[in-house]
Amino acid sequence: MFVEFLWVLLLGSLLGFELIGKVPPTLHTPLMSGANAISGITVLAALTAIIKAGDNTALLLLGSVSLGFALFNVIGGFLVTDRMLAMFSRKPARKENR
Amino acid sequence: MSDLLKYAIELAAVLLLALGIKGLSKVRSARGANQLAAVAMALAVAGLLLNYLSTSGLSLAAWTWIIAGTLVGGVLGAITAQRVPMTSMPETVALFNGCGGMSSLLVALAAALYPAALDATGPVALVSIVVSVFVGSITFTGSIVAMAKLQGWLSTPSWMQSKLRHVVNIALAVAALVGAVEMIRNADSGTGLWLLVVSSSLLGIGVTLPIGGADMPVVISLLNSYSGVAAAAAGFVVGSQLLIVAGAMVGAAGLILTQVMCNGMNRSLISVLFGGALGAGSAAGGGGGEYTNITSCSVEECALTLEAAERVVIVPGYGLAVAQAQHTLREVTRVLETAGIDVAYAIHPVAGRMPGHMNVLLAEADVPYEQLKEMDQINPEFPAADVVLVLGANDVVNPQAKSDPNSPLYGMPVLDVQEARTVFVVKRGMSAGYSGIKNDLFELVNTSMLFGDAKKVLGDLLVELKDLGLGKK
């Protein structure tokens, strides 16, 4: 199992390195913000902790707070990235109207 | 739910996340890609819940705590995302990022305190917990310090700029290592765990605090990469392949983005992390910070010069972003354009407060995309410009970076505004820029200073231009 996980880690890292080659400076801020939202994928870990907690209240609480932090990151991150990118994409549309 | 379906959902989520990151690096596809990544995330969460529902089931207590955490985190996140002004984007990203790190840290803490419940026993789980706690703590405290510094809530204490900080940080790193070893050797005693938490949290502060404001975006990008690593480590702790893949992707992509940003600023990552604030070096060098030959002028004179110009280049900078003057600026340039004056915007790679930040702000103010010129594109055009209007930019227009090899700025790419016929610099006062270095541009004969808040100066300028009869066509 552990070796499998190491493979997953290795391949995931290589994929990440390959995905971003050239980024125009215009997109540095949105890309950072979008990737940041994705790193909130720890919601999965937080959910797992809550589900497996049984009736251990301390564990439930820890999991729930962790879930709150992760979702703050995910929801806030995606929305704020969308707000930024909306400003870029509406430009061409308006021009056509003129 | 069958294992097959579970794997299918996980694979689909990974694929969509990868496509999302890929698409975010192209202007055309960026918005759709961001939404795609959000869908992938929702799919991953739904898959996980469905899987547990069909196997062990979810207790009422579990649902209650899930809903509570979701509501609080989700609603706060949504409100923050909607309310925060575009000018505060860097600190917002830092805040979100810190919370991601905190989440990984808490999961790792839960696993360390209750290993049996989460099946987190054995050496592999222990090492994963150690990594997750270490990286999660650094990400959290580092991001919060970055946010506080960008907001101006924190400044760097002077001892932090001395060499002493390296000693302190090394001591903290050693303490973290001791804690980690103790934790792995003797998992039942809490001493190692808390030593690790405290020392790595302090290390996050100690490493981030000395870094100068101009370098902060690079640090945020690096911390973003760390939060990916923390997520991957949390994936090892709870045994989730999806989490490992996604975390590793963000970690690696974040590292590449950090490198791209460093290249754009002509800084090496090492000098950003260990060089400390630029100002420290220049203060020691004692390079006379006194200005002797400043010409200041009135808004009226500026308006008259602009009226006579054929080609105007705007250099927007940090001060414009802080004054939130991008909309007023747009009105001024509209007036100039209707008078037949050619207007372009020179965007330094690190203009604003973060790479690409100025583009976002100007796009918000409806500036046509084609008028934004990148540095390499606009630099040869400065000699042909009649007027350059520098709005709250300082270090990025300092000719010292090219002329004075002894200057701490030497080698940084700058906009050659001094090549233009006339330069107007709108600035609140004679204070130094981020680097704390004197700007030779301000003393040049073709430079005039317009003192005041960028928004107010531009507002006055607008009135003057209209009085001159511009923009009435």
pLDDT tens for A30-61 read: 888 999 999 999 999 999 999 998 888 999 99
pLDDT confidence bin for B171, thresholds 50/70/90: very high
Q: Which residues of B touch A25 (CB under 8 A)?
A: 264, 347, 349, 355-356, 359, 374
Cα–Cα distance, B279 to B284 (Å, whole number) = 9
pLDDT for B427 equals 86
Phi, then psi, of B449 in degrees rounded to 5: -100, 140
State the smallest CA–CA distance between residue B356 and chain A in angstroms. Answer: 4
Mutate to test the interface with B, among A27, A72, A96 (most CBs of B within 10 A): A72
Q: What percent of chain B has pLDDT over 70?
A: 92
Which of the 8 DSSP states describes residue B30?
Answer: H
Mean pLDDT of B89-112: 93
- Is residue B282 pLDDT above 70, yes or no? no
Is B440 one of the catalytic residues?
A: no
Least CA distance to B249: which residue of chain A? A16
Record: contact A16-B253, CB cut-off 8 A: yes
pLDDT for A4 equals 86
pLDDT confidence bin for B176, thresholds 50/70/90: very high
pLDDT for A97 equals 39
Lowest mean pLDDT among A74-83, B152-161, B295-304, B329-338: B152-161
- Could you tell me which residue, B271 or B140, shows the higher pLDDT? B140
3-state secondary structure of B152: coil
State the smallest CA–CA distance between residue A97 and chain B in angstroms. Answer: 14
What is the per-residue DSSP string for B365-428?
A: TT--GGGEEEHHHHGGGGGG-SEEEEES--GGG-THHHH-TTSTTTT-----GGGSSEEEEEES
pLDDT for B280 equals 40
Mean pLDDT of A25-29: 80
Record: contact A51-B97, CB cut-off 8 A: no
pLDDT confidence bin for B432, thresholds 50/70/90: low
Which residue is listed with tokens 């200005």? B291
Q: Which long-range contacts (CB under 8 A, 24 or more apart) does B365-373 make?
A: B365/B326, B365/B327, B365/B329, B365/B330, B366/A94, B366/B330, B367/B326, B367/B330, B367/B333, B368/A91, B368/A95, B369/A88, B369/A91, B369/A92, B371/B343, B371/B344, B371/B345, B372/A26, B372/B345, B372/B347, B373/B344, B373/B345, B373/B346, B373/B347
Mean pLDDT of B39-49: 94
Q: Which residues of A touch B131 (CB under 8 A)?
A: none
pLDDT confidence bin for B279, thresholds 50/70/90: very low
Cα–Cα distance, B308 to B99 (Å, whole number) = 53
Which tokens go with B419?
């090549």
Phi, then psi, of B411 in degrees rounded to 5: 100, -15
Cα–Cα distance, B232 to B106 (Å, whole number) = 14
Q: Which amino acid is at B212?
A: G
Phi, then psi, of B426 in degrees rounded to 5: -90, 125
For the stretch B105-150, pLDDT in tens is 999 999 999 888 888 888 888 999 999 999 999 999 999 999 998 8
Record: contact A15-B27, CB cut-off 8 A: no
Strands B387-391 and B372-374: unpaired
Mean pLDDT of A14-19: 86
pLDDT for B203 equals 94
Mean pLDDT of chain A: 85
For the stretch B306-320, pLDDT in tens is 988 999 999 998 788
Nearest to B299 by CA among B439, B417, B445, B448: B448
Record: contact A53-B33, CB cut-off 8 A: no
Q: Give me the residues paired with residue B450 across strands.
A: B426
pLDDT for B153 equals 83
User: In degrees, to the nearest 5, what angle opens at C-alpha B20 toward C-alphas B35 and B98?
Assistant: 80
Least CA distance to A76: which residue of chain B? B77
Cα–Cα distance, B355 to B388 (Å, whole number) = 22
Q: Which residues of B touch A63 (CB under 8 A)?
A: 65, 69, 106-107, 110
For the stretch B329-387, pLDDT in tens is 999 999 999 988 999 999 887 777 677 788 888 888 888 878 888 888 899 999 999 99
Q: Which of the following is catalytic: B215, B395, B416, B460?
A: B395
Cα–Cα distance, B52 to B240 (Å, whole number) = 13
- Could you tell me which residue, B297 or B438, shows the higher pLDDT? B297
Mean pLDDT of B63-85: 94
Size of interface A-B (CB pairs under 8 A): 400
Identify which of B30, B70, B357 has the shortest CB distance to residue A88. B30
The pTM score is 0.80
- Is residue B170 pLDDT above 80, yes or no? yes
Q: How distant is the alpha carbon of residue B393 from its chain centre?
A: 18
- Is residue B42 pLDDT above 90, yes or no? yes
Identify which of B124, B246, B349 has the shortest CB distance to residue A38. B246
* Residue B357 burial (10 A CB sphere; 0-12, 13-18, 19+): buried
3-state secondary structure of B292: coil
Q: Which residues of B touch A12 (CB under 8 A)?
A: 232, 244-249, 252
pLDDT for B278 equals 46
Record: contact B111-A49, CB cut-off 8 A: yes
Mean pLDDT of chain B: 86
Ramachandran assignment for B390, one of left (phi > 0), alpha (psi -120 to 50 degrees), beta (any other): beta
pLDDT confidence bin for B444, thresholds 50/70/90: confident
Q: Which residues of B touch A54 (CB under 8 A)?
A: 59, 117
Q: Which residues of A touch B36 (CB under 8 A)?
A: none
Domain parsing of chain A, residue ranges: 23-97
CA–CA distances in Å: residue B58 to residues B170, B251, B301:
45, 32, 73
- Is residue B458 pLDDT above 50, yes or no? yes
Cα–Cα distance, B396 to B414 (Å, whole number) = 5
For the stretch B195-204, pLDDT in tens is 999 999 999 9
Lowest mean pLDDT among A29-33, B208-212, B469-473: B469-473
pLDDT for B36 equals 95
